[in-house]
Structure 1
Amino acid sequence: MAYRKELFVWNGSENKKAVIRTYEKKDFEGLIDVQREAFPPPFPSELWWDHDQLHNHIHLFPDGALCVEIDGIIVGSMTGLLTDFDPNEPDHTWSEATDNGYIANHNPNGKTLYVVDICVRPSYRKFGLGKWLMHAMYETVIQLNLERLLGGGRLPYFHRYADALTIEEYVEKVVAGEVFDPVISFLLRCGRMPIHIVKNYLEDEESHNYGLLMEWKNPFYSDQR
Structure 2
Amino acid sequence: MYRKQFYVFNQERPVPAVIRNYEEKDFDGLIRIQQESFPPPFPSELWWNTEQLKNHITLFPEGALCIEINGEIAGSMTGLIVDFDPNHPEHSWEEITDNGYIRNHNPNGNTLYVVDIGVRPAYRKLGLGKWLMLSMYEVVIQLGLERLLGGGRMPGYHKKAHEMTAEQYLEAVLNGEIKDPVITFLLRCGRTPVKVVANYLEDEESCNYAVLMEWKNPFYTAKP
| SS of the residue 1:216 aligns to | strand
Structure 1: stretches of 5+ with no match in the other structure: none
Q: What's the counterpart of residue 149 of structure 1?
A: 148
Amino acid at match of 1:116: V
Deviation at 1:47, TM superposition (A): 2.1
Residue by residue over 1:82-101, the C-alpha shift from the partner in whole angstroms, topping out at 9 and shown as x without a partner, is: 00111111000000010010
Amino acid at match of 1:215: E
| SS of the residue 1:92 aligns to | coil
- Do residues 130 (structure 1) and 132 (structure 2) align? no
Percentage identity across aligned positions?
Answer: 67
Deviation at 1:166, TM superposition (A): 1.5
| SS of the residue 2:48 aligns to | coil
Counterpart Cα distance in 2 of 1:46 and 1:90:
26
Counterpart Cα distance in 1 of 2:39 and 2:181:
18
| Change over 3 Å in CA distance of 1:211–1:217 after alignment to 2 | same
Q: What's the counterpart of residue 74 of structure 2?
A: 75
Deviation at 1:39, TM superposition (A): 2.4
Q: What's the counterpart of residue 37 of structure 1?
A: 36
User: For structure 1, which segment, 129-138 or 164-173, has the greater mean C-alpha deviation from structure 2 after superposition?
Assistant: 164-173
Q: What's the counterpart of residue 181 of structure 2?
A: 182
Q: What's the counterpart of residue 100 of structure 2?
A: 101
Amino acid at match of 2:50: H
Deviation at 1:138, TM superposition (A): 0.2
Counterpart Cα distance in 2 of 1:209 and 1:48:
17
Residue by residue over 1:174-213, the C-alpha shift from the partner in whole angstroms, topping out at 9 and shown as x without a partner, is: 0121110000000000000001110111111111111100
Deviation at 1:223, TM superposition (A): 1.8
Structure 1 residue runs of 4 or more that deviate by more than 6 Å after TM superposition: none
Counterpart Cα distance in 2 of 1:127 and 1:97:
31
Deviation at 1:11, TM superposition (A): 2.9
Q: What's the counterpart of residue 209 of structure 2?
A: 210
Counterpart Cα distance in 2 of 1:199 and 1:25:
34
Does the 8 Å CA contact 1:11/1:128 hold for their aligned counterparts? Answer: no
Does the 8 Å CA contact 2:81/2:113 hold for their aligned counterparts? Answer: yes
Q: What's the counterpart of residue 6 of structure 2?
A: 7
| SS of the residue 2:141 aligns to | helix
Does the 8 Å CA contact 2:148/2:215 hold for their aligned counterparts? Answer: yes
Counterpart Cα distance in 2 of 1:106 and 1:32:
22
Deviation at 1:30, TM superposition (A): 1.0
| Change over 3 Å in CA distance of 1:181–1:204 after alignment to 2 | same
Deviation at 1:44, TM superposition (A): 4.0
Does the 8 Å CA contact 2:31/2:48 hold for their aligned counterparts? Answer: yes
Counterpart Cα distance in 1 of 2:44 and 2:160:
29
Deviation at 1:38, TM superposition (A): 1.7
Structure 2: stretches of 5+ with no match in the other structure: none
Counterpart Cα distance in 2 of 1:164 and 1:199:
17
Amino acid at match of 1:87: P
Q: TM-score, normalised by structure 2?
A: 0.97
Provide the alpha-carbon RMSD of the alignment: 1.2
Q: What's the counterpart of residue 17 of structure 2?
A: 18
Deviation at 1:14, TM superposition (A): 3.0
Deviation at 1:43, TM superposition (A): 4.0
Q: TM-score, normalised by structure 1?
A: 0.96
User: For structure 1, which segment, 13-22 or 112-121, has the greater mean C-alpha deviation from structure 2 after superposition?
Assistant: 13-22
Q: What's the counterpart of residue 170 of structure 1?
A: 169
Q: What's the counterpart of residue 45 of structure 2?
A: 46
Q: What's the counterpart of residue 90 of structure 2?
A: 91
